[in-house]
Amino acid sequence: MELRHIRYFLAVAREGNFTRAAARIGIGQPPLSQQIRDLETEIGTALFHRVPHGAELTEAGAAFHDVVAQFPDLAERAIRAARRAGRGETGTIRVGFTASAAFSPSVPGVFRDFRRAFPAVEMTLEESNSAQLVTRLKEEQLDAVFLRQDAIADDGIRLHVISSGPMVVVLPAGHPAAKHDKVSLSQLRDDALILTPRDVGPTHYDKVVSACRNAGFEPQMGQIAPQLGSVINFVAAELGFSLVPKPMTQLQANGVVYREIDGEVPIAELSLAYRSNDISIALRNFVSRTLAAHRSFSEPDED
Amino acid sequence: MELRHIRYFLAVAREGNFTRAAARIGIGQPPLSQQIRDLETEIGTALFHRVPHGAELTEAGAAFHDVVAQFPDLAERAIRAARRAGRGETGTIRVGFTASAAFSPSVPGVFRDFRRAFPAVEMTLEESNSAQLVTRLKEEQLDAVFLRQDAIADDGIRLHVISSGPMVVVLPAGHPAAKHDKVSLSQLRDDALILTPRDVGPTHYDKVVSACRNAGFEPQMGQIAPQLGSVINFVAAELGFSLVPKPMTQLQANGVVYREIDGEVPIAELSLAYRSNDISIALRNFVSRTLAAHRSFSEPDED
DNA sequence: AAGTAACGGATATGGCGCAGTTCCATCGGT
DNA sequence: ACCGATGGAACTGCGCCATATCCGTTACTT
C-alpha cells in the first residue's frame, strides 16, 4: 500500500463515483478502478460497494477511512515541518548575556527582532557574568552569549565584536568633580575604585585598571561589588567611583551621576560568542541576523 | 512522496547507515540512496547529514521523523480496522426482545455467546412488547428482535422460529385444581382468563383463546394485564388464571403455581426476526450464530 | 413493451518511466 | 594499504497510466 492508494481511495470515498474521482485526481477511470482493486486485494476485503450510480463505502471501507483520512494532512505536515526546520524556523537556541550587555541598546533589539522573524524558534535567555557565560558556552549549556570581552582564548569558540563605545565615570553626586561635564581620571586618584571581581569579568577589570595607570596613578581598590547593580549602589553610598560602558547610564539612581572622561577614554567592546562546531540552523540565522544588524548601525564607529 | 519513501527514510534513520538499512529493507544501497535523494529533492532540504561512518538526521530530518514515525503503525492500523470490519468484528447491532423471550434459557445464552465471540461489536439490548418491537424493527430502530410469534406479514422481514415449547397454566395456589400435577383447561371454564392486550401480542393472545375454545369453552375475559409481570401478580391476587410459555416458571411468586396442561397443549414459539435488506456483517454473524446455536439444542423437538 | 442512449465500472493491451540490480569510483578512517 | 560507506552510471524488468472496449443498469423515447 502506498500513499497513492490512500489518495485514490479518499477521492473515490469523497466523490462516491470512480469517474469523477479519476477526473479530480488527474488519471483515467480504468487505472483508478485497478488501483482500488489492487488495494482491496492487498487488504483482503472490499472497501467499496459498487452500485449502478457509483460506489459506496462498505463497513470495512468506513473503518479504513476513519484511520487513513488523516494521512494527506499528516504527510503535508511532515513536509512543512522538515522545510521549516531546514530553514531554521524551528528549534531552540539558548542565549546568555551579561548585565551590561543587556543595557546595550542593540542586544534587546536583537532579541526582539529575532523573535519576530522566527516566532517558532524557542529562544531562552539567561543573564550571568562573563566568566560563567563562557563556561556554560563551552559546556554546551548555552548556544550564544553577549559579553563585554574582545577575545576568548579557545579555538572552539568564535567571537565577533559587534559594537564598541566609550566608558564613562560613575561617581557620587556630591563629589566635587561631579560639577563638571567631563572628569579627568587623575582627579579621582585619591578615591576608591569600585569593581566587580576580576575572575567574573577579567577584560573589564583589566581595562579599568589600565585606564587609571595610563592617567598616572595606581587605583586604590575599593569595595568589591558582586554584580553590576551593586557597583551603582556602592557609588550611591559614596564608597568610591567606577568606570562603566556608556549604555549603563540608563541605570539611574539617587546620588549617582555619570560623567564623560576628559583625556584618554577606555573603550568597552560588546561581543557575540558561540561555538564553532555543531551550529544549528536556527543559531546560524541568529548569528547572521545579529551581525547584519550591527553592521547596519555600528558603522561608522561611534565614540 | 509515497509510503515507500517514508519506510526507507525511517530505516536509514534507525540504522544510521544506508548499507545496513538497505539490507534490512531488502534492496541495494544505491537505490536506497537514490530514493532518499529523491525525497530530499521533493521536500527541498537535506534530511540526512552524510558522515564517513554513515548518516545522521539533520534538524529537518528530525522534524520530519517526528511526524512520519507513526505512519507505518497507522497504515497497519487502517488495514487491521478494515479487515476486522470486513469480518464483522466491529460495528453495532441493536437487539430487542419480549419479556417472555428473555425467560427463554437460550436467548440470554445467545447474548453471552455473541459478546464473547465479538467483544468489539457494540450490542445494545431493548425489552419491549411484540407489536412495538416489530414496529421498531421496520423503522430501522432495531436490527433484530426475539419474540413469541411464528409469522410477520411483511416481505421485508425475515423470521426464523428458533425454538418452541409447551405452554403451562398459571393459577392461584389455593385454587382447587392446584392440587393436581396436571390441569385440564375445562376445569377452569368458570374462572376468569387474564391476558395482556391483544394488540401488544396478538399471536400469544389468539393461541390462548383458541386453546380454551378447543377445550370446549369460551374463556371469560378477566383483568387486562399491561405486561407479563402483571399477569403473575393478578393471578397471585386470585383474579383468575392464564397460560404462559413454560420458561416463565422461573418467575416465582407467593400464591402462584404452574401446572402442566392435561389434554391438547398449546405451543409457544420463539422466533428471531430481522430485516432482509441492508444487513451488516455483524448482524449476519449474529443471526448465523443464533441459528447455529438453536440447531444444536432445538433438535430433537422438545415437548 | 421495446429499442436506444447515457452513465459507470471493469477488462485487455501497449508503452513509458521508474525502481532495483550490478559494477565501479571516491572518500574518510584505521 | 585496507576496509567501510556513499554515490554515480548503465541496464533491465516491472508497474502505472492511457486507450480501446465490453458489460450492466437506468432513463428516455417511440
Chain B contact set for A83 (CB, 8 A)? 43-45, 60
Listed in sequence order, the residues at least 6 apart from A57 whose beta carbon sits closer than 8 Å to its beta carbon are A13, A47, A48, A49, A65
Query: How far does the CA of B54 sit from the C1' of C30, in Å?
Result: 16
A208 neighbors A220 (Cβ within 8 angstroms): no
Look at residue B215 and give its three-state secondary structure. coil
Judged by CB atoms closer than 8 Å, whether chains meet at B2 and A3 is answered as: yes
pLDDT-based confidence at residue B230 (cuts at 50, 70, 90)? confident
Nearest 5°: CA angle at A198, between A197 and A204?
110
**Angstrom distance, B18 CA to D6 C1':** 8
CA A83 / C1′ C25 distance in Å? 32
Would you say the C-beta of A28 is within 7 Å of strand D?
yes
From CA B98, how far away is CA B148, in angstroms rounded? Answer: 8
SS3 A87: coil
Residue A2 has pLDDT above 70, yes or no: yes
Q: pLDDT digits over A246-280, tens only?
A: 988 888 888 899 999 998 899 998 999 999 877 88
Domains of chain A, earliest start first: 3-69 (1.10.10.10), 90-160+273-297 (3.40.190.10), 163-268 (3.40.190.290)
Q: What is the pLDDT of residue A225?
A: 85
Nearest-by-Cβ selection for B64 from A1, A58, A78: A78
Helices and strands, counts by H and E, chain A:
11, 12
Is the minimum distance from the CB of A26 to strand D below 7 Å? yes
Contact A104, A247 (CB under 8 A): yes
Q: Which of A128, A139, B67, A287 is nearest to B57 (CA)?
A: B67
User: Hey, is the C-beta of A69 within 8 angstroms of any chain B C-beta?
Assistant: no
Phi-psi region of B52 (alpha: psi -120 to 50; beta: other; left: phi over 0): alpha
Residue B301 pLDDT greater than 70, yes or no: no
pLDDT of residue B299: 41
Residue B67 distance to chain A (closest CA, Å): 5
Up-side HSE of residue B221: CA atoms within 13 Å toward CB?
A: 9
CB–CB contact B74 A82 (8 Å)? no
Nearest of B219, B81, B264 to residue A64 by alpha carbon? B81
Q: Nearest nucleotide, C1' to the C-alpha of A52?
A: D25
Mutate to test the interface with A, among B8, B79, B118, B277 (most CBs of A within 10 A): B79
- Assess contact for A273 and A147: CB atoms under 8 A: yes
d(CA A267, CA A249): 15
Query: In the prediction, which pLDDT does A103 show?
Result: 80
Residues 51-80 (B) near nucleic chain C, CB < 7 A: 52-53
Decide: CB of B42 under 7 A of nucleic strand C.
no
H/E run at residue B222: strand B220-224
Do A221 and A193 touch, CB atoms closer than 8 A? yes
Q: Are A274 and A145 in contact (CB under 8 A)?
A: yes
pLDDT (tens digit per residue) in A104-150: 878 888 998 999 999 999 999 998 888 899 999 988 899 999 998 88
Q: Could you give the CA distance from residue B111 to residue B125 in angstroms, rounded to a whole number? A: 9
Coil, strand, or helix at residue B16?
A: coil
Which CA-bearing residue is nearest the C1' of D20?
A30
> From the Cβ of B33, is strand C under 7 Å away?
no
The CA-atom distances, in angstroms, between A84 and each of A120, A147, B259 are 9, 30, 84
Q: Could you read off the pLDDT of A208-250 as tens digits, one per residue?
A: 999 999 999 999 988 888 877 788 888 888 889 999 999 888 8
Longest distance between any two alpha carbons in chain A, whole Å: 106
How far is residue B4's CA from residue A104's CA, in Å, rounded to a whole number?
53
What tens digit of pLDDT does each residue of B147-188 get?
988 888 888 899 999 988 999 999 998 888 889 889 999 999
Cell readout for A215 is 592617567
The Cα–Cα gap between B83 and A257 comes to 82
Residue of A nearest to B44 (CA): A83
Task: Give percent above pLDDT 70 in chain B.
Answer: 97
- Quick check: B297 and B157 in contact, CB under 8 A? no
Query: Given the C-alpha cell 469480518, which residue does it identify?
Result: B87
Please list the helix, strand and coil fractions of chain B in percent, rounded to the nearest 5, in that order: 45, 25, 30
What pLDDT was estimated at residue B229? 78
Residue B297 above 60 pLDDT? Answer: no
pLDDT of residue A52: 86
Contacts of residue B61 in chain A, CB cutoff 8 Å?
Answer: 82
Query: Residue B298 — pLDDT band, cuts 50, 70, 90?
Result: very low
Share above pLDDT 90 across residues of chain B, in percent, rounded to a whole number: 61
More confident call, A302 vs B77: B77
Q: Identify the pLDDT of residue A251.
A: 81
Confidence of residue B296 (pLDDT cuts 50, 70, 90): low
Which residue is listed with cell 509515497?
B2
More confident of the two residues B45 and B252: B45
Q: Give the mean model confidence (pLDDT) for residues A91-112.
A: 87
Per-residue model confidence (pLDDT) at position B73: 94
B15-B19-B20-B25 Cα dihedral, nearest 10 degrees: 100
Q: Which of B169, B152, B190 is nearest to B275 (CA)?
A: B152
Protein residue nearest nucleotide D9, by CA to C1': B30
pLDDT band at A302 (very low <50, low <70, confident <90, very high): very low
Answer yes or no: are the C-beta atoms of A123 and A115 closer than 8 Å. yes
Residue of A nearest to B67 (CA): A78
Using an 8 Å CB-CB cutoff, list chain A residues near B77.
67
Mean residue pLDDT of chain A comes to 89
Whole-number pLDDT of residue A49: 92
User: What confidence category does residue A298 fall into, taking pLDDT thresholds of 50, 70 and 90?
Assistant: very low
* C-alpha cell of residue A193: 575604585
B79: exposed, middle or buried (Cβ count in 10 Å: 0-12, 13-18, 19+) = buried
pLDDT tens digits along A31-86: 999 999 999 999 999 999 999 889 999 999 999 999 999 999 999 999 999 999 99
Where is A296: in which H helix or E strand?
helix A281-297
Task: For residue B51, give every residue at least 6 positions away whose Cβ sits within 8 Å of its Cβ, in sequence order, or none.
Answer: none
Tell me which residues from 9 to 68 on chain B have a beta carbon below 7 angstroms from nucleic acid strand D.
17-20, 29-30, 33-34, 36-37, 50, 52-55
List bases in chain C with any atom under 7 Å of a protein Cβ: 7-12, 19-23, 27-29
| Cβ of residue B26 lies below 7 Å from strand C | yes
Q: Are B177 and B147 in contact, with CB atoms under 8 Å apart?
A: no
Answer whether B120 touches A (CB < 8 Å). Answer: no
pLDDT digits (tens, 9 = 90+) for B7-62: 999 999 999 999 999 999 999 999 999 999 999 999 999 999 998 888 999 999 99
The pLDDT of residue B159 is 92
Instruction: Say if A2 is an interface residue toward chain B (CB within 8 Å).
Output: yes
Angstroms from A202 CA to nearest CA on chain B: 37
**Which B residues, 8 through 67, put their C-beta within 8 Å of a C-beta on chain A?**
42-47, 58-64, 66-67
The 3 state secondary structure assigned to A204-246 is HHHHHHHHHHHCCCCCEEEEECCCHHHHHHHHHCCCCEEEEEH
pLDDT at B300: 40
- Cβ atoms of A25 and A10 within 8 Å: the answer is no
How is B240-301 classified by DSSP, letter by letter? Answer: -BEEEEGGGGGS--TTEEEEEEESSPPEEEEEEEEESSS--HHHHHHHHHHHHHHHHHS-SP
- Find out whether B140 and B93 touch, Cβ atoms under 8 Å: no
What own/partner pairs with CB < 8 Å and gap ≥ 24 does A245-251 have? A245/A100, A245/A103, A245/A104, A245/A148, A245/A165, A245/A167, A245/A168, A245/A270, A246/A165, A246/A166, A246/A167, A246/A168, A247/A100, A247/A103, A247/A104, A247/A105, A247/A165, A248/A100, A248/A103, A248/A168, A248/A170, A249/A168, A250/A103, A251/A103
Q: Left, alpha or beta for A161 (phi > 0: left; psi -120 to 50: alpha)?
A: beta
pLDDT of residue A290: 92
Which residues are within 8 A (CB) of A205 and not within 5 positions of it... i.e. 6 or more apart? Answer: A195, A196, A197, A198
